[in-house]
Structure 1
Amino acid sequence: MDESLKHTTFKGIIWSSIERFSVQGVSFIVMIIMARILTPKDYGLVGMLTIFIAIAQSLVDSGFSQALIRKLDRNECDFCTVFYFNIVLSILLYIILFISAPLIAKFYNEPILTSLTRVISFGIIINAFSVVHRAKFNIKLDFKTQTKASLSSSLISGVLGIYCAFNGFGVWAIVILQIINQIINVGLLWVLLKWKPKLIFNLESFKNLFNFGSKIAVGGILSTIYDNLYLIVIGKVYNPTDVGLYSRAYQFSTLPSTNISMIIQRVSYPTLCRLQSNIGELRRVYNSYYKALALIIFPLMGLMITIAPNIVEIILGSKWANVIYPLQILCLALAFYPSQGLQINLLNALGKSNIYLKIDIYKKIIGLLCLIISLPFGLIWLCWGQVIATQFALFIHMFYTKKYLDITILAQIAMLLPAIFSTVIACSTIYIYNNFTQSGIEQLLIDILICVLFYSISSCILNFKEINHLFNL
């Protein structure tokens, strides 16, 4: 990787990290405060609608943003074409959801979902106005500007959401928070980018971008359906309270996993795209990201599993105690999620979006089988089904990485093992220590210090080269 690209990538990682963790930090604090006021059912009602909103959002993007990033000879015509397509499609999808709202409410037997659906889904149109703006920022690896918009919108909407929760708005406090966040974020992106679309729509440009992006879109929709299928099943077969417990457990478990994955994916994709014609350099840079992910994500997920009982008691309170075990299981499942995201970026950078779609279909079939088998046994077994499905998915990704980068499956596993061993050592030490102490904030802080200390020591013994490599990256 040349020096200018390395410098740009480094800045991208720093600012992408700042954005993800500052925004998620604010959202996390807001969620803690609101969760102590609201009930699991309030969060469960919003969780029931997640799949419908997420599918619509995936359709609006249709993989065009990734297609724009990958196309090295992109022009103004491409940007304008994508912009107008997104707006028109978002309006059509909103109309469909608006009309379908009573059917959704009837499906779950929750009348309030009619009005909730019609208000929350308006965010689809709002977000459509920023798809091209985000793509432009990502192409330049400019995450600093996006951080300003995201953090500002999170702070303002968070304060308003807390105010509404304190004043008895109930589930509507969550809705208001989401809509206000979207409006402010999109508005700031328009102000900061200063790009306005021209009245251009080119059918040839649309076909060219759609040819690549459509496969990503289908894969994204399948992922969205699968990721949110559990919320539908739990809401239909069990009850809104279980949906609330699962959604809180999932949100906690994704804090380290999804955020680290998003940071690496957002920065790695443009970088890997630039190296698509140099397989040797592409392999080296891919390995760099792969090792960095393992060294970061495993100790974070291991720590979350170990301190879950303490952190739920301190942050959410005793009424959320039933969230602990699902949280621990989902952390185990999601520990391998970021590496899969990186492998998807690799395939897309190589122009293999058709392979990405094929992999996604395989993964969803396996996941669906795990869901069907575990469904009769309750919420806990549904979570264990995700662990099994994730392991199968990991090996499918490894197979195709071997095929296109000539890195054997054993070599890919070997790159993960040192981080896993170091994590086991650190977390085992925390577990032993916690058996002799009382839970509380002091124990939580000491647990984190123990994890950092023992993970660093064991990593230097087992994995010194990779630690050096991470510092260099």
Structure 2
Amino acid sequence: MADSLRHKTIHGVGWSFIDNISNSGITFLVGLVLARLLTPEEYGIMAMIAIFIAISNSIIDSGFSNALIRKTRIERVDYSTVFYFNLTVSILIYALLYLAAPTISVFFKEPVLLAVIRIIGWVLIINALAIIPRTQFVRNVDFKTQTKVSLISSISSGVIGIGMALGGMGVWSLVGQQLFRQFLNTLFLWVYSKWHPVWEFSMKSFKELFGFGSKLLLSGLLDTIYKNIYYIVIGRFYTSAQLGQYTRAEQFNMIFSSNLTSVVQRVSYPVLSSIQEEPERLREAYRKVIKITMLITFACMLGLAAVAKPLILILIGEKWLPAVYFLQIICFSGILYPLHAINLNILQVKGRSDLFLKLEIIKKIIAVGPIVVGIAYGIEYMLWGSVLTSFIAYFLNSYYSANLINYPTGEQLKDILPTFLISFVVAAFMWSVSFWNISVYALLPIQLFAGILLALFIYEKLHLDEYLEVKQLVLSVLKRR
């Protein structure tokens, strides 16, 4: 049983990681090409509407996906009930967004937003159609199929976006890329899932699922607003060019922080849910997930901060140089995101969506401070404030989850401290190399090569359990290939 769970987890993590790389990684590579063809102002325009799309998607899902994943026994009517609710809400929200487009355009003082919002808003309905097939794959820890879908949609939409940019279509190339990616993703999820709704709706099923999901909905809305509120603040009080610089920094950060967080959430939630009635086993599985995840996270995020300048100069050019400092600060803020996700997953696994909501409210109240400071003093102060709130949020999350599985915050910190110190030393060494007076094209590979060698040397000497686990996993994959 334990070996089966381990295999299921490793298999899920592997394919989930590949899925994220294919979905956001390929999109990121396409974004590098588009960043050279487009301007920071055009990226800024797209960022201005990001919060409206993100909030709308949260409302449409309404926490039903997690409720379905967690439910032990699923009936056919459960899926159909959620499907019709999601679809109806998506149509209503698109209509509201369509009517609000003129007001949003005036608020940001960008006339082109009127048409952009009314076109990009179609992704809400498209995404609603994909929720049930995607939920079924996640519930079954089947990320292999989702990877195939992501590859098809990401590559195809990337080609379309680049073609539109080369044709001089500006911001519309970004709109086209997003629309086609979501359309193709939804289309192939339906093809592979072979699921279809039936004409039935159960109020009993709705109430049961919404009872759990509604609190996650409110929590998700608060988190979504917080993650995207900087777009509104920067877009309203600064320039679209500055907003564009910030969004590019965010997209570099997402390569590791958001992808790792997504992988951890998607895989650990259904796996941990399957052993929720076995306290000791749950605690040990949870502890192992934290140690392995943070080894990778610390290395990636601190390393990214160390090589930020040559990386951005080489990949997207000097016009994006202001994004370097933004990226370095964001790396320190995002370094704990996967740890947040793991701790919050425990609350969901234990059915404590009420605590989940309570935590989100407390954390978002705390987060208001940096936003106010940012409006008054500048973007950099706002970002440094987000670093502070990220650390405060971790202690809050871990305090509540610790009580549920007997894994105190102090033990968590003790478990992850060795890998943090190693990654910090390695990143500091990589950063010191950046002061060498050489071309950035030579600097970046030297930094990466030196950092990897130093990290491997230290880990091989210390023989940490989490390192050996990762090493064994990598070697087993390579042997299979």
**Superposition TM-score tier, normalisation by shorter sequence:** over 0.9
Give the Cα–Cα distance (whole angstroms) in 1 for the partners of residues 315 and 8 of structure 2.
Answer: 38
**Is the contact between residue 80 and residue 199 of structure 1 (CA under 8 Å) also seen in structure 2?**
yes
**What residue identity is the alignment partner of 1:430?**
M
In 2, Cα distance between equivalents of 1:108 and 1:94: 20
Deviation readout 1:213-265 (Å, 9 max, x if unpaired): 11111100100101110100111111111111111111111210110111111
Structure 2 residue 42 is the aligned partner of structure 1 residue 45? no
Shift of 1:368: 1.1
TM-score by length of 2: 0.96
| Aligned twin of 2:360 | 360
User: In the aligned structure 1, how far is the partner of 2:264 from the partner of 2:408?
Assistant: 22
1:270-292 alpha-carbon deviations (Å, 9 max, x no partner):
01111111111110000011001
Contact 2:25 2:255 (C-alpha < 8 Å) held by counterparts: no
Q: Which amino acid aligns with 2:273?
A: C
Kept in 2: contact 1:222–1:364 (CA 8 A): yes
Q: Which amino acid aligns with 1:221?
A: L
Change (3 A) 1:372 1:462: farther
Q: Which amino acid aligns with 1:394?
A: Y
Residues 1:381 and 2:401 are matched in the alignment: no
Please, which moves more after superposition, 250-259 or 462-471?
462-471
Mapped partners of 2:15, 2:321: distance in 1: 35
Report the AA paired with residue 183 of structure 2. I
1:361-390 per-position Cα deviation (integer Å, ceiling 9, x unaligned): 111111112211332111111111111110
Matched residue, 1:407: 407
Is the contact between residue 157 and residue 181 of structure 1 (CA under 8 Å) also seen in structure 2?
A: yes
Q: Is the 8 A contact 1:288 1:469 kept in 2?
A: no
Matched, 1:212 2:212: yes
Is 390-399 or 453-462 further displaced after alignment?
453-462
C-alpha separation in 2, matches of 1:404 and 1:428: 37
Separation in 1 of the partners of 2:127 and 2:351? 27
Pick which of 397-406 and 139-148 moved more: 397-406
Distance 1:121 1:244, change over 3 A: same
Provide the C-alpha distance between the structure 2 equivalents of 1:471 and 1:290, rounded to a whole number of angstroms: 16
Mapped contact 1:70–1:273 kept (Cα < 8 A): yes
**Is the CA contact 1:94–1:122 (under 8 Å) kept in the aligned structure 2?**
yes
CA contact (8 A) 1:425 1:458 kept: no
Percent identical residues: 38
- Once the 2 structures are TM-superposed, how far is the Cα of residue 300 of structure 1 from its aligned partner? 0.4
Give the conservation status (yes or no) of the 8 Å contact 1:269–1:349: yes
How far does residue 472 in structure 1 lie from its aligned partner after superposition?
5.7
CA RMSD after TM alignment: 1.3
What is the CA–CA distance in structure 2 between the aligned matches of 1:72 and 1:449, rounded to whole Å?
47
Corresponding residue for residue 323 of structure 2: 323
Runs (4+) off by over 4 Å: none
Residues 422, 462 of structure 1: 8 Å contact kept: no
Query: What is the rounded CA distance, in whole Å, between the counterparts of 2:465 and 2:207 in structure 1?
Result: 46
Aligned counterparts of 1:319 and 1:439: Cα–Cα separation in 2: 18
Matches of 1:465 and 1:125, distance apart in 2 = 46
Q: CA deviation at 1:3?
A: 2.2
Give the corresponding residue for 2:14.
14
What whole-Å deviation, never above 9, does each CA across 1:308-340 have from its counterpart, x for those lacking one?
Answer: 010111011011111110110001100011100
2:208 maps to amino acid: N
Query: What SS does structure 1 have at the residue aligned with 2:196?
Result: coil
Secondary structure of residue in 2 paired with 1:72:
coil
Q: What's the offset of the Cα at 1:469?
A: 3.7
The two structures have a TM-score, normalised by structure 1, of 0.98
Name 1:54's counterpart in structure 2: 54
Partner in structure 2 of residue 238 of structure 1: 238
Which amino acid is the alignment partner of residue 187 of structure 1?
L
Give the conservation status (yes or no) of the 8 Å contact 1:306–1:427: yes
1:335 matched to 2:321? The reply is no
- TM-superposed CA distance for 1:88, in Å, is 0.3
Any idea what the Cα deviations from partners look like across 1:164-202, whole Å, max 9, x if unmatched?
Answer: 001110000000000011111100111111111111100
Paired position in structure 2 for 1:35: 35
1:78: how far off? 0.4
Matched AA of 1:265: Q
How far apart in 2 are the matches of 1:19 and 1:447? 28
Equivalent pair of 2:223/2:364 in contact (CA under 8 Å): yes
Aligned twin of 1:199: 199
Partner of residue 94, structure 2: 94
Question: Structure 2 unaligned runs (5+)?
Answer: 474-481
* Inter-partner Cα distance in structure 1 for 2:69 and 2:447: 41
1:254–1:331 CA contact under 8 A, matched in 2:
no
CA distance in 2, matches of 1:188, 1:371: 40
Structure 1 unmatched runs, 5+: none
The 10-residue stretch of structure 1 (56-65 or 374-383) with the greater mean CA deviation from structure 2 = 374-383
- Could you tell me which residue of structure 2 aligns to residue 154 of structure 1? 154
Q: Secondary structure at the match of 1:185?
A: helix
C-alpha distance in 1 between matches for 2:299 and 2:463: 14
CA contact 1:23–1:151 (8 Å) conserved in 2: yes
Say if 2:216 and 2:353, in contact at 8 Å, map to a contact too: yes
